[in-house]
A and B are shown apart, each in its own frame.
Chain A
Amino acid sequence: MKSSHLIVLLFVFLAGVVALTFHLFKNETSEIGHLSHTLQQTLQVKQYDILLSENALKAASFKTVHFDDMVHTVKSLSALRKSLAQALIEISESTTPPLKSQIDTINEEVEKRVSLIEQLKAKVALARNSSNFLLRTLRDHSQTYGLEASALALRALNELQGYQIFPTEERFEKTAGILKLLKQQSVKGGKENNLGNALRHMEVSFEGTQKIAEILKELQKPDSQDAINKLIKTLQDIQTTRQHLTEGYLFLLSGIAIATFIALSFVFARWVQAREKIHKTSQLFQDAVESMSEGFAFFGPDERLVFWNSNFEDLYSTLEGGLETGMSLLDFEDIQKDTGYLVLREPQTDGSSIDLTRDGRWMLSSNTAMKQGGYALVRVDLTEQKKAQEQLHLAATVFQTASEAMMVTDREDHIEMVNPAFSDITGYSEAEVIGKTPHILSSGRHDEHYYHKMFEELKRHGTWQGEIWNRRKSGEVFPEWLSITTIYDDEGIAQKRISLFTDITSRKKSEERIHYQANYDSLTDLPNRNLFKERLTQSINAAKRNKDTVALLFLDLDNFKHINDTLGHLMGDELLRHVADRLRSLFSASDTIARLSGDEFIVIINEANDMSALEQVLDQILECLQLPYLLNGNTTYTSVSVGATLYPRDGTTVDSLLQNADAAMFKAKDQGRNTYCFFTPEMNSRAKERHEMEVALHGALDKGHFVLHYQPIIDLASQTIKSTESLVRWNDPERGLVPPIKFIPIAEDTGLIVPMGEWILRQACHDAAQWNIEKGLDIGVSVNLSSRQFKRSDIFGLVRETLQETKLPVEQLTLEITESLLVDDDSGVLKTLRQIRDLGVKLSIDDFGTGYSSLSYLKRFPITILKIDQSFINGVLHGGEDAALTEAILSMARSLGLKVVAEGVESQGQNDFLFDRDCDYIQGFHYSRPVPVADLMHAIENKKLKAKTKKRS
C-alpha cells in the first residue's frame, strides 16, 4: 500500500476516534443524569416510607383526628414507586439481585405496610369510637351502676386511657385486672344493663389497643427501609462503575488516537527518507498534517527538529525562544521545564503524559521513538474537554445542592428541569411539574396585569426580579423572592428561562414566632397576660359599640400547690396542660382563654348577654375540671374556684375587671372551693385586705414583727427534750398574731420567703446556741426550709456562715425539708443536701407520707430523720389504714437506719401506741404547744419538761 493511502486511511480512522469520543462524552452525561435522577426518586420513596411510619405512630398514639394525611402519604408513595419502577427499566445493568427483583421486594414490603396501615386505621377508629362513647355513657349513666361499680368503671376508664397512651406490660396487667373486677360487677348487675355495654366497649377498646401495639410493632420493622437502602446502594454502585467505565473508554480512545499518530509517524519517517523521490506524497502529507486538529512535530534521527504543524506551533506559541528548525529534543524539553512553561506533568501508564502549561492548557503529550531513528511528538489539546467536564460537574452540583429553588423553562414556557430545592419549597416533585407551565404555582394573588408587566419586562430586558406570592402544592400561599433570566441562542432568540427563587416565608414566620412568644404561654399554648389584655380591650371596645355584655372569669385551681408539692413540678405542668385542654374544649374560638400565671386562668366570654347561659357555662367548667386527671399513670383530682365579673356592670377598664374577678375568685375559695362567685362591690375590701397584708408583710421583717416559737420534740425512751422545732409567728401591731397559714403563702408568692427564711435560721441558731452554751442544755433545734427558698438562694453558704457566727454545735441543727424538693430529682439539690450533710447538720423530711413517698429517694438523699405527718397520728387509735401506715413507716425507717418523729401527738393513747412500736421521738400538744423561748426555758427550769444537761468539762 502506498504511504499516501495509508495516511488518508489513518486520518479517516482518527476522525472516527474523535467522533466516538464526543459521542461517548455526550452519552455519559445523559446516562449519569438519568441515574442520579433515579437515585433521587429512590430517596423520595425512602422519605415517604419514613413519613408513613411517622403517620402510623401518630395515629397509634391517637394524635390524628382524621386520616386524610395518611391517605395522602400512601397515595404519594404508590405514585413514586410506579415512576421509580419505570425509571429502573431504562437502566440496563446486571446486578445481583437484578433491579427488577429489588423493586419487587420494595413493592412487596411497602404493600405489606400499606395493608397494615389499613388495619391500623380501622383499629384506631374502633378504639377511639369506644373511648368517645365511654366518656359519654359514663357521664350519663354511671349513677345507675351503683356506687361501687360506678367508681370502678371510672377507674377502669382511667387505666384504659393510660394504657392507650403507654401500652406497657405493667399497665396491661393492671387494666386487665380492673376490667376483670368490673366484669364481676356487671355479672352481678344482671344481663342487659348499661354497665355491660360500657364494659364491652372497654373490652373492645382494650383489645383494639393491644392490636394497635402489635400492628405498630410490625410496622416499625425496618424491612422496607432495608430494601430501599439496598436499591440505593445498588444504584450508587452502578453510578460509580458507570463513571469509571466511561473514564476508561475515554482513556482508551486517547490511547488509540496516540497509536494512530505513532503509525502516522512511522509512515512519515519513511517519507523523510525518500522525500526526494516522492515529492508529491510529501506535499500530501504536509497538507494532511497541517489540517490535523492535533499538534504534531517530528525530530529527525539526529534528534533535531525537522518539522511541526501549525497546531503544534500554537500550543507552544508562548514558549521562550519559540520553535526553530534544528533545535534539539533535549533543549525543547529543558526549556519547557526551566522556564516554568510546564506547570504539571501527570505521567500515564503508556508512557505518554498529561501536561498542564502556564497558559492553563491541558494536553496529552506523547513522544514516540521511531524505528528508523527520530521522534514523533503528538499533542492533543484537552483544555476544552477538561473545562467542559469541570463546568458540567460544577453546574450539576450547584443545581442539585443550591438552597434556592431553580426552574428551567423552554421557549413554550414548559418546565424542563427543577432542582431538589424547588421540590422542597413548592412541594411538587420533579415528575409532577415537568412539562407543565409555571402557572401551576400561581397563587391568584396577582392579577393578569401584573404578569403581563412581568413578561413585557422579560421580553425587553431578558431579566425580572421581585417579590411574588406563589402557591405550594398543599395549597398554602407563600412569598418568594424571584429572579428570572433568559438564555438566548446565537441568533438572539430566547431559548430558555431560568427562574431562581427563595422562600421568604421563614423570615415572615420568625416574625410570627416572635409575636407568638410574646403573646402565648409556652406550656399551654394559651394566650398570656399580654395578649389577654389586648383581647379584653378589643372585647370591651366591641361591646361598647354593640351594647353587649362581656363576662370575665378568673379561675384558680384549688389544690394545685399541693399537687405540685407532692407529685412534683413536672406533673403540675402536665396538669396545667390538661386543664388548658379541657377549657379549650368548653369554649368556642371567639372566646379567649388565657393563662395568667401559675394555676390562674382567665376566660373572656363575648356577648354574654344571657345570664342563665353564663351560669350554665360556669357549671360546665366546674363539672368538667373536677373529672379525674390521668397524669403519667397517676389519677389525680382537682377542682377550680371561679370568680366572675361583668362588663359594663361591674367595671369598665381592663384593670378594674381583672381586680374584680380576682376578688370574686377569693370569695369562691372562701365559700369552700369548687364553686363560682359573681363579683359584688363589697368584695373589693377583701382584695384590698390581701394587698394591705402584702405591704405590711414587707415592712414586718425590718420592724422586727416576726417572732419564733419553739415546740419541744421529746425522746420517748428517756422522756427528755431531744430537740425543738422553730416556728415563725407574725406579731402585727394592727392584726395581732397572724397564723402562718395566712402569711406564708403570701411570702412565698412575693419572694419574701428568702430574707424571712434567712432571719428564721439565724434567730433559731442564735437561740439554740444560747441554751446550749450558756445554759448547758443538750437540746437541738430544727428549722423549716421552703422549696422556694432552697432554690432561690445559696442555702449551703448561709448554713455554714450562720453556724460559724452563732457557734451553735453543728450536731444540734436539723433542717426540715418537704418531699417536693426531692421528687424533682434535681442533681443540684442533691449536691447541696450532701454538702449540708457533710457539715454535720441533720436533715429531716417533713409531712412524710402525704406526698410522693418513695423509698428510692430516701436512699438517694442523705436523710436522717422522718417526720410522720400528723394526719396519720390523728387516726392511729381508730385502727385501720392510718395505724397500719404508721407501723409500716416505723418499720421501714428502722430498716433504713432513720429516726422517726411523730407529729401532732395529742393524747396519752397516741403516745402509748407510738411507745409500744418503738417510735423514737414525739412532738405535739400532749407535751407542749409551740411557745416563746422564754416560756420554754421557764418550763425546763420548773421541771415541767425534762432536759438533759451537758457534762461540763
Chain B
Amino acid sequence: MSRASLRKSLCILGIGLSVVLFSVDFVCAQSIVKGVTPRENEPILPIPLHHEVNSAKAKLGEQLFHETLLSGDNSISCASCHNIDQYGVDGTRSSVGIEGQVGTVNAPTVLNSRFNFAQFWDGRAEDLKEQAKGPVTNPIEMGSVWADVIAKLKKDKSYVQAFDNIYEEGITPDTVADAIKNYEYTLTTVNSPFDQYLRGFDDAITEQQKRGYSLFKEYGCVACHQGVNVGGNMYQRMGAFIPYFTEKNTKLKADLGRYNVTKDDRDLHVFKVPSLRVAAHTAPYFHDGSVATLEEAIDIMARYQLGYTISRQDNKDIAAFIQSLSGEIRRSGQ
C-alpha cells in the first residue's frame, strides 16, 4: 500500500469513527430526554438477551429432547410432557408416562429452567444435566434402563456419528444428558414487556400491570419471587403463615417437599419457589397441579403465605402483572 493511499484510508477511518462516536453521543443525549434509563435496584432482573451456547451440542440435544427411544416402550419423549410450543408444559394436572401411568407431581416448564438454582420441586438435582437423567429411569415416567437406551441409540448411525463428533467418550448417559442440558440452555423467553419496562421503556406495560407490580411488592410476594427468574432461587414453606397442609390433606409423598431430600423436619412442606416467568401460561398450578387458574393460585398464596383475603381488583392487577413477565420463546444464540 503506498503512503498516500494509507493516509487516505486512515482519513476515512477517522471520519467513520467520529460518525460512530457522534451517533453514540446522540443516542445518549436522546435517552436522557426520553427517559429510557434502565430501572435499577429492582428486585426483578431482566433476562439477558444473549447467552453463550454450544450450538452443536444444543442441536443434538434438541433431537434427543424429542427422541422417543429414551423411553422404555419407545412411546414418549421429553417433549411429550414439556411441549415447547405450549410454554414447555403439557397443561395437565400430572403428566402421563409410559403405559398410561399418571405421575404425582405437575410437570414444571423447561423454559428458563437454566436460571433455576436447583431442579425438581424439591431441588433434588443440582443442575439440568443431573435433572435430565431423572425422568428417563423413573418407572412411571419414561421407565427405561440406561443400558437399553444407549444400545438403542447406538443402532442409529447418525447418532453415533453426531456424538463422536462432539464427545470423545461417544454415547453415554452423561453425554446424552449433557446434550439435552445444552438444548435446554437455549430455551429462554426474552424481551418480555416487563423486561422492556425494566430496561427503561415505561410504556411497555399497561397501567394495570404497573399497579400489579407495585401490589406484588407491597404484599411481599416479591420477597420470594425475585431475581432474574422471578423465583427459582430459594426454598420456602408452602403455608408459611397459615398451614396449608394438615395431617389430613397430606396425601402424597411429594407433599412433604424438600423433606424427602434432607430428612430434616425444618424442610417439611418446603418447596423450591417456582419461577413466575411464564406462569401465566402454565396452568394448572402448584406441585400437585391442584389449582386450575392463576387467579385462584394468587388467592391461595395470599391466604396461606399472608393470612389475608385479597380483593378482586388487586388479584386481577397482580395477574395482569404476571402476564407481563412472559417473553418471546426464543432460542438464544440463534
Q: Which residues of A contact B (CB under 8 A)?
A: 65-68, 70-71, 74-75, 78, 115, 118-119, 121-122, 124-126, 128-133, 135-137, 197, 200-201, 204, 440, 475, 538, 542, 588-590, 606
Contact A204 B202 (CB under 8 A): no
> Which residues in chain B, 207-254, are within 8 Å of chain A measured between CB atoms?
217-224, 226-228, 233-237, 240-241
How many residue pairs, one in A and one in B, have C-beta atoms under 8 Å apart? 98
B interface residue numbers (CB < 8 A to A): 32-33, 35, 37, 39, 41-45, 48, 52, 117, 126, 200, 202, 217-224, 226-228, 233-237, 240-241, 262, 266, 270, 305-308
Q: A132-B223, A606-B35 are in contact. List 18 more A-B contacts (CB 8 A).
A: A66-B233, A68-B227, A71-B227, A74-B117, A125-B223, A126-B240, A129-B221, A129-B224, A129-B240, A132-B220, A133-B220, A135-B218, A200-B307, A201-B306, A588-B35, A589-B35, A589-B37, A590-B35
Are B241 and A204 in touch, CB under 8 angstroms? Answer: yes
Residues of A within 8 A of B39 (CB): 589
If A125-B224, A126-B240, A589-B200 touch, does A136 touch B219 (CB 8 Å cutoff)? Answer: yes
Q: CB distance B42 to A65 under 8 Å?
A: yes
- 16 A-B residue pairs with CB within 8 Å: A66-B43, A66-B233, A67-B233, A68-B227, A74-B117, A118-B235, A121-B235, A124-B223, A126-B223, A128-B223, A129-B306, A131-B220, A133-B218, A136-B218, A197-B308, A440-B52
- Could you tell me if B32 and A65 are in contact, using CB atoms closer than 8 angstroms? no
Report the Cα distance A118→B306, complex, angstroms. 21
A201–B235 CA distance with the chains assembled, in angstroms:
20
The answer on a CB contact under 8 Å between B234 and A118 is yes
B contact residues around A122 at 8 Å (CB)? 234-237, 270
CA distance A126 to B236 in the complex (A): 8
Inter-chain contacts of B45 with A (CB < 8 A): 66, 68
In the bound complex, CA of A668 to CA of B43 (Å): 37
A132 touches B217 (CB 8 A): yes
List the 7 shortest-distance A-B pairs measured between CB atoms, nearest first: A590-B35, A129-B220, A132-B220, A66-B226, A68-B227, A129-B223, A65-B43
Nearest A-chain residue to B41, judged by Cβ: A65
Q: Are B48 and A475 in contact (CB under 8 A)?
A: yes
Complex CA gap A575/B48 in Å reads 37
Contacts of B32 in A (CB 8 A): 538
Contact A542 B241 (CB under 8 A): no
Q: Closest approach, in angstroms, between the C-beta of A191 and any C-beta of chain B?
A: 13
Q: In the assembled complex, which residues on chain B have CB atoms less than 8 Å from the CB atom of A135?
A: 218
Most chain-B Cβ atoms within 10 A of its Cβ — which of A66, A70, A197, A606?
A66
The CA-CA distance from A137 to B314 in the complex, in Å, is 14
Q: B37 to chain A: which residues have CB within 8 Å? A: 589-590
Q: In the complex, A200→B45 CA distance in Å?
A: 31
Residues of A within 8 A of B240 (CB): 126, 129, 204
CB-defined contacts of A121 to chain B, threshold 8 Å: 233-235
Bound Cα distance A589, B126 (Å): 38
The answer, among A68, A125, A136, A200, for a CB contact under 8 Å with B228, is: A68
A129-B220, A132-B219 known; A538 vs B33 contact (CB < 8 Å): yes
Q: In angstroms, how far is the closest chain B Cβ from the Cβ of A500?
A: 24
- Across the interface, do A71 and B52 meet the contact criterion of CB distance under 8 Å? no
Please determine whether B226 and A65 come into contact, CB atoms closer than 8 angstroms.
yes
Q: Tell me the smallest distance from the CB of B225 to a CB of chain A, in Å.
A: 9
Q: Tell me the smallest distance from the CB of B212 to a CB of chain A, in Å.
A: 14
Q: B227 — which chain A residues lie within 8 A by C-beta?
A: 66-68, 71
Q: Chain B's nearest CB lies how many Å from the CB of A405?
A: 20
CA distance A575 to B37 in the complex (A): 28
Chain B hits for A126, CB < 8 A = 223, 236, 240
Distance of A128 Cα from B218 Cα, bound (Å): 10
What CA separation (Å) do A133 and B240 show in the bound complex?
Answer: 14
Which residues does chain A contribute within 8 Å of B234, judged by CB atoms? Answer: 67, 71, 118, 121-122, 125
The distance from the CB of B277 to the nearest CB of chain A, in whole angstroms, is: 13
A200 CA / B305 CA spacing, docked (Å): 12
Does B241 lie within 8 Å of A119, measured CB to CB? no
Residue of chain B at shortest CB distance from A208: B240
Residues of B within 8 A of A538 (CB): 32-33
Query: What's the least CB distance linking B53 to chain A, in Å?
Result: 12
Kindly list chain A residues whose C-beta atoms are within 8 Å of the C-beta of B228.
Answer: 66, 68
CB distance from B18 to the nearest CB of A (A): 15
How many Å lie between the Cα of A67 and that of B237 in the bound state?
A: 17
A133 lies within 8 A of B219 (CB): yes
CB distance from A591 to the nearest CB of B (A): 9
A122–B117 CA distance with the chains assembled, in angstroms: 14
Residues on the A chain within 8 Å of B52, using CB: 440
Kindly provide the distance from the CB of B243 to the nearest chain A CB, expressed in whole angstroms.
Answer: 13
Q: How far is the CB of B33 from chain A (nearest CB, A)?
A: 5
Looking at B33, B45, B266, the one whose CB has the most chain A CB atoms below 10 A away is: B33
Residues of the B chain whose Cβ atoms lie less than 8 Å from the Cβ of A606: 35
Q: How far is the CA of A74 from the CA of B118 in the complex (A)?
A: 11
